[in-house]
Amino acid sequence: MSDIYVVLAVCLLIWGGIFFYLMHLDKVLKKIKQKLEFKEDFSKSGR
């Protein structure tokens, strides 16, 4: 019966890792998007 708990714990660790990786990736992509939007706004202003 304890083998199922080991499998459950491993699965939860894997899913937790995927979740935190996606949250980190989202944060990085938001920063990149803001930089690109700033460059677009800057180039549209004619400078």
User: What's the mean pLDDT when you consider all of the chain?
Assistant: 91
Tokens of 41: 């706004």
Please, which pLDDT band fits residue 47 given cuts at 50, 70 and 90? low
- pLDDT for position 38: 84
Average pLDDT rounded to a whole number, residues 31-38: 90
Rg of the chain taking only CA atoms, in angstroms: 20
Please state the pTM of the whole predicted model: 0.70
